[in-house]
């Protein structure tokens, strides 16, 4: 059984069809890229999977659980985490708190225990702090634990966002344009980094990206969207040669 | 080896050092609490200060509870609720009805804590009922909903003859004493502090920062909002109950939108998202209003002016988003340092 399965998922914004008939069978451990011009509906696909939008039609299942209709926090608790195209950290909170918040669903104590700091509060909080700091150390961010997230340099903010996503203990990670604003050298490092977290955290990854260098370098399989429709899918080298993809990116070929 | 000679410390450095000493010395806190509690008994007993000052001290305590509870919504959660006096009214009326109509007069001093608690629980229930529909909206819309709620509470009370209608409830026994105000204030500070430094509280903070990201980081934002709103209205009800039994007369007019505005001013004066700020804001506002009393009408000109200046130069209030270390739980304050120490100990053990 595939880890994530999307069956003819369609989504409308009013009369505009943002995603039409999207299908995906994702096996455990795969690294799949979704590419396409601006406004092709890539981020909408992520929003549909994570429950930010509710698909107008179709079904998305994770390990057999239906995701359509669930709230984002329930989807996350099922093991799907994501990062954002524009970094969305909790800016005015500390780096440590950013990661601790992502442990929310793994903490079991009740509201009463939190009002009076009794019962499981102490043990659970100690565990969350320990796990969060250990995770930050893995990402070499532990030195910044007590700094506000907004004071980190851009590259570290990107890294923290991934660390925060992994704190929710996902099996599937959705990366939305992780290479935005990076130079070619940084992109090479990012490729190694993505390969490394995939091994280290035993992840299945879907990647949205514009940077062809990154996509062609690490994705095993690509899907190409244009105006919400899937226009091509296959191995990176096949996609590169696909005339429909070239057309979507570069415009129609004029035959004279 | 030559001794390095230190240049004499400036006054500013000396003060900073002194402040560091006070702020990091946590043993002072229980001592202060005990001294405070003792004073709250001794002051009225021996009339250490005149009754007028005692009255102001009680208002300071009540206003601290109000400011803290509203700060939970407007500061920590980043929403904008403007009808806090409505919840105060619920607490005040429930407790006043209990002490004037239901409880036996001579048992009142003993049953008073129950009346206050009932006021708080009643306000919390109403808070929950208001929160469920209003948190489907956000920002400006929530402000309108809470504004409407404040008006509804006022007109509902005006139209119930059994509780005096527009005439209010006169002759409420003066049961609020300095020790009770002290105890409830400390309890409010402690519980709200505990809530903020917990899993649920961090959920509330993340809603302020970015609600969508919060949801996607597995935070049950709906539950966090309901919890925060219920807790906030509970303490507003407690403050209302204490207030009614100081004032000894309540009417719907006492709890109109102007009262809500006062609470908002205290929150933004002291600083959003700060316990220390709430305490400062409530104290400064209450005391300043009294000190400026001789100015008569001009007092109402000066106070808004102070606010305008504050918003221009410190838009987040005196302590906006900062906290005195005393109010941060020690486990939280020391989390990183302890983890580092443990890690270094572990590394040393591994290498030896």
**What is the per-residue pLDDT across A167-220, written as a single tens digit (0 to 9) for each?**
999 999 999 999 988 888 999 999 999 999 999 999 999 999 888 888 888 999
What would the pLDDT profile of B1-32 be if each residue is shown by its tens digit?
455 566 777 888 888 888 888 888 888 889 99
Question: Could you give the CA distance from residue B110 to residue B113 in angstroms, rounded to a whole number?
Answer: 7
**Residues A193 and A226 occupy one common structural domain:** yes
b (16+ CB within 10 A) / e for B170-183: eebeebbbbbbbbb
| Residue A32 shares a structural domain with residue A68 | yes
Residue B73 C-alpha, separation from nearest chain A C-alpha, in angstroms: 16
Q: How confident is the model at residue B272 (pLDDT cuts 50, 70, 90)?
A: very high
Chain A residues touching residue B222 (CB < 8 angstroms): 71
Beta bridge partners of A6: A24, A60
Residues in contact with B138: Cβ distance below 8 Å, sequence separation at least 6, in sequence order: B79, B211
Q: 10 Å Cβ neighbour count for B15? A: 11
Residues in chain B: 352
How far apart are the C-alpha atoms of B18 and B37, rounded to whole Å? 25
Q: Which of A13-17, A84-88, A184-188, B121-125 has the highest mean pLDDT?
A: B121-125
* Percent of chain A clearing pLDDT 90 (strictly above): 80
pLDDT in tens, B175-201: 999 999 999 999 999 999 999 999 999
Quick check: A102 pLDDT over 80? yes
Which residue carries 């899993």 as its tokens? B199
Q: Indicate if A174 and A230 belong to the same structural domain.
A: yes
Total H helices, total E strands in chain A: 10, 10
- Are the Cβ atoms of B217 and A104 closer than 8 angstroms? yes
Would an 8 Å CB–CB cutoff place B341 in contact with chain A? no
On whether both A178 and A244 belong to a single domain, the answer is: yes
What is the 8-class DSSP label of residue A178?
Answer: T
Distance CA B169, CA B167 (A): 7
- Tokens representing residue B38 in the block: 């003792």
Kindly state the tokens that stand for A218: 């690490």
Residue A131 lies in a domain: yes
Query: Which residues of A fall within a CB distance of 8 Å from B220?
Result: 73, 104-105
d(CA A102, CA A184): 31
Question: Any idea which of A40-49, B98-107, B113-122, B149-158 has the lowest mean pLDDT?
Answer: B98-107
> Is residue A186 domain-resident?
yes
**Antiparallel, parallel or unpaired: β A31-35 and A204-208:** parallel
Residue B51 has pLDDT above 90, yes or no: yes
Shortest CB distance from A84 goes to which of B213, B214, B219?
Answer: B213
CA dist., res. B217 & res. B224, Å (int) = 13
What residue numbers bound the domain in which A8 lies? Answer: 4-79+170-250
Distance, CA of A138 to CA of A197 (rounded, Å): 10
Q: What is the mean predicted confidence (pLDDT) over B70-97?
A: 95
What are the φ and ψ backbone dihedral angles of B96, each rounded to 5 degrees?
-70, -40
Q: How many CB atoms neighbour CB B335 within 10 A?
A: 23
How far apart CA A256 and CA A58 sit, in angstroms, is 42
Å between A56 CA and nearest CA of chain B: 20
B329 in contact with A, Cβ within 8 Å: yes
CB-nearest to A96 from B210, B331, B335 is B335
At B206-249, the pLDDT tens digits run 999 999 999 999 999 999 999 999 999 999 999 999 999 999 99
Give A137: exposed, middle or buried? Use CB within 10 Å, 0-12, 13-18, 19+.
middle
Q: Which pLDDT score, from 0 to 100, does residue B347 have?
A: 85
Domain identity same for A58 and A30: yes
pLDDT of residue A253: 59
Q: What integer best gives the mean pLDDT of chain A?
A: 93
Distance CA A187, CA A207 (A): 14
Q: Are residues A13 and A121 in the same domain?
A: no
Judged by CB atoms closer than 8 Å, whether chains meet at B199 and A103 is answered as yes
Give yes or no for B333 touching A (CB within 8 A).
Answer: no
Compute the distance between CA of residue A146 and CA of residue A124 in angstroms, rounded to an integer. Answer: 20
Q: Which of A150, A166, A22, A7 is CA-nearest to residue A82?
A: A166
Average the pLDDT over A225-252 and give the result: 86
Question: Distance of CA B39 to CAs A48, A241, B49, B242, Å?
Answer: 60, 84, 11, 19
Is the confidence at residue A12, as pLDDT, over 90? Answer: yes
CB atoms within 10 A of CB B34: 10
Query: Looking at residues B132-153, what average pLDDT do you find?
Result: 86
Whether A84 and B218 lie within 8 Å, measured CB to CB: no
Query: Looking at CA atoms only, how far is residue A165 from chain B in angstroms?
Result: 7
Q: Which residues contact B280 (CB under 8 A, 6 or more apart)?
A: B269, B270, B271, B318, B319
Nearest to B218 by CA among A70, A139, A176: A70
Give the model's pLDDT for residue A255.
58
A151 has a chain B CB within 8 A of its CB: no
Which pLDDT does position B115 carry in this prediction? 96
A73 and A187 both lie in a single domain:
yes
Nearest to A177 by CA among A222, A212, A207, A204: A207
pLDDT of residue B25: 82
Distance of alpha carbon B76 from alpha carbon A104, whole angstroms: 17
The pLDDT-based confidence of B305 (bands split at 50, 70, 90) is confident
Interface contact B331-A126, CB threshold 8 A = yes
A145 with A189, same domain: the answer is no
Which pLDDT belongs to residue B3? 55
Cβ A50–B339 below 8 Å, yes or no? no
Looking at beta carbons, which pairs linking A104-108 to residues 24 or more positions away fall under 8 Å?
A: A104/A73, A104/B199, A104/B202, A104/B203, A104/B217, A104/B218, A104/B219, A104/B220, A105/A73, A105/A76, A105/A77, A105/A168, A105/B218, A105/B219, A105/B220, A106/A169, A106/B218, A107/B199
pLDDT score recorded for residue B1: 45
3-class secondary-structure state, position B58: helix
* N- to C-terminal Cα separation, chain B: 34
Domains of chain A: total: 2
Higher pLDDT pick, B29 / A157: A157
User: Coil, strand or helix: which one is B172?
Assistant: coil
| Minimum mean pLDDT range among A60-69, A111-120, A137-146, B299-308 | B299-308
Per CB-CB distance under 8 Å, the chain B contacts of A137 are 343
A65 and A175 co-located in one domain: yes
How far is B88 from B63, CA to CA, in rounded Å? 11
Q: Is residue A231 part of a domain?
A: yes
Q: Under a CB-based contact definition with an 8 Å cutoff, are residues B224 and B105 in contact?
A: no
Asked if residue A164 belongs to a domain, the reply is no
CA-to-CA distance for A58 and A76, rounded, in angstroms? Answer: 20
What pLDDT shows up at residue A241? 85
Minimal CA separation from B141 to chain A, in Å: 21
* Minimum-distance CB partner of B210 among A90, A114, A122: A90
| Chain B partners within 8 Å of A130 (Cβ) | 339
**pLDDT: which is higher, B79 or B135:** B79
Q: Give the other-Cβ count within 10 Å of A145's Cβ.
A: 22
Contacts for B231 with CB less than 8 Å, ≥ 6 apart: A115, B69, B72, B124, B191, B192, B195
pLDDT in tens, A236-248: 888 888 888 888 8
Per this entry, what is the length of chain A? 256
Q: Name the strands in the sheet holding A65-66, side by side, starting at the edge strand that comes first in the sequence.
A: A16-26, A4-13, A57-62, A65-66
Going by pLDDT thresholds of 50, 70 and 90, the confidence category of residue B159 is very high
Average pLDDT value over all residues in chain B: 91
Give the number of C-alpha atoms closer than 13 A to the C-alpha of residue A50, restricted to the C-beta side. Answer: 30
The SS3 assignment for A25 reads strand
Average pLDDT over residues B157-161: 94
The reply to whether A100 falls in a domain is yes
């Amino acid at each position: 059984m595939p880890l994530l399965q999307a069956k003819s998922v369609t989504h409308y914004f009013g009369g505009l069809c943002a995603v039409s008939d999207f299908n995906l069978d994702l096996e455990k451990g795969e690294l799949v890229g979704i590419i396409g011009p601006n406004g092709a509906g890539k981020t909408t696909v992520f929003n549909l999977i994570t429950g930010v939008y509710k698909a107008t039609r179709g079904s998305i299942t994770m390990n057999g659980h239906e995701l359509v209709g669930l709230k984002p926090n329930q989807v996350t608790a099922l093991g799907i985490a994501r990062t954002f195209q524009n970094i969305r950290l909790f800016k005015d909170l500390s780096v440590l708190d950013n990661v601790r918040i992502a442990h929310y669903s793994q903490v079991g104590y009740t509201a009463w225990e939190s009002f009076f700091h009794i019962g499981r509060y102490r043990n659970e909080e100690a565990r969350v702090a320990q796990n969060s700091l250990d995770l930050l150390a893995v990402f070499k961010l532990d030195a910044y634990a007590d700094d506000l997230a907004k004071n980190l340099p851009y590259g570290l903010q990107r890294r923290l966002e991934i660390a925060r996503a992994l704190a929710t203990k996902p099996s599937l990670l959705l990366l939305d344009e992780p290479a935005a604003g990076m130079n070619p050298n940084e992109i090479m490092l990012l490729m190694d980094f993505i390969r490394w977290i995939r091994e280290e955290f035993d992840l299945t990854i879907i990647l949205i990206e514009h940077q062809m260098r990154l996509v062609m370098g690490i994705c095993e399989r690509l899907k190409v969207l244009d105006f919400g429709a899937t226009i091509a899918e296959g191995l990176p080298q096949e996609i590169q040669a696909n005339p429909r993809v070239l057309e979507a990116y570069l415009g129609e070929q004029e035959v004279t | 080896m030559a001794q390095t000679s230190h240049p004499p410390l400036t006054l500013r450095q000396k003060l900073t050092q002194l402040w560091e000493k006070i702020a990091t010395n946590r043993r002072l806190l229980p001592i202060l609490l005990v001294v405070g509690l003792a004073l709250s008994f001794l002051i009225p007993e021996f009339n250490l200060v005149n009754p007028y000052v005692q009255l102001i001290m009680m208002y300071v305590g009540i206003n601290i509870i109000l400011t803290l509870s509203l700060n939970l919504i407007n500061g920590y959660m980043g929403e904008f609720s403007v009808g806090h006096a409505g919840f105060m009214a619920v607490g005040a009326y429930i407790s006043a009805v209990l002490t004037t109509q239901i409880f036996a007069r001579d048992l009142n001093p003993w049953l008073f804590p129950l009346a206050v608690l009932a006021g708080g629980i009643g306000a919390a229930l109403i808070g929950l009922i208001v929160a469920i529909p209003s948190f489907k909206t956000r920002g400006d819309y929530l402000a309108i909903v809470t504004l409407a709620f404040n008006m509804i509470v006022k007109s509902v009370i005006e139209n119930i003859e059994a509780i005096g209608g527009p005439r209010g409830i006169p002759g409420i026994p003066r049961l609020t004493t300095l020790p009770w105000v002290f105890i409830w204030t400390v309890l409010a500070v402690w519980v709200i502090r505990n809530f903020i430094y917990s899993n649920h509280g961090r959920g509330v903070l993340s809603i302020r920062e970015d609600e969508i990201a919060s949801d996607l980081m597995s935070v049950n934002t709906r539950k966090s909002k309901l919890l925060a709103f219920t807790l906030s209205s509970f303490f507003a009800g407690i403050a209302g109950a204490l207030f009614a039994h100081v004032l000894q007369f309540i009417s719907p007019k006492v709890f109109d939108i102007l009262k809500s505005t006062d609470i908002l001013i205290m929150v933004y004066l002291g600083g959003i998202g700060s316990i220390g700020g709430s305490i400062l804001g409530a104290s400064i506002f209450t005391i300043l209003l009294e000190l400026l009393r001789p100015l008569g009408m001009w007092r109402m000109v000066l106070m808004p002016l102070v606010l305008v200046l504050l918003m221009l130069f410190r838009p987040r209030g005196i302590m906006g988003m900062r906290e005195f270390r005393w109010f941060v739980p020690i486990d939280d304050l020391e989390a990183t340092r302890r983890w580092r120490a443990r890690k270094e100990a572990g590394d040393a053990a591994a290498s030896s």
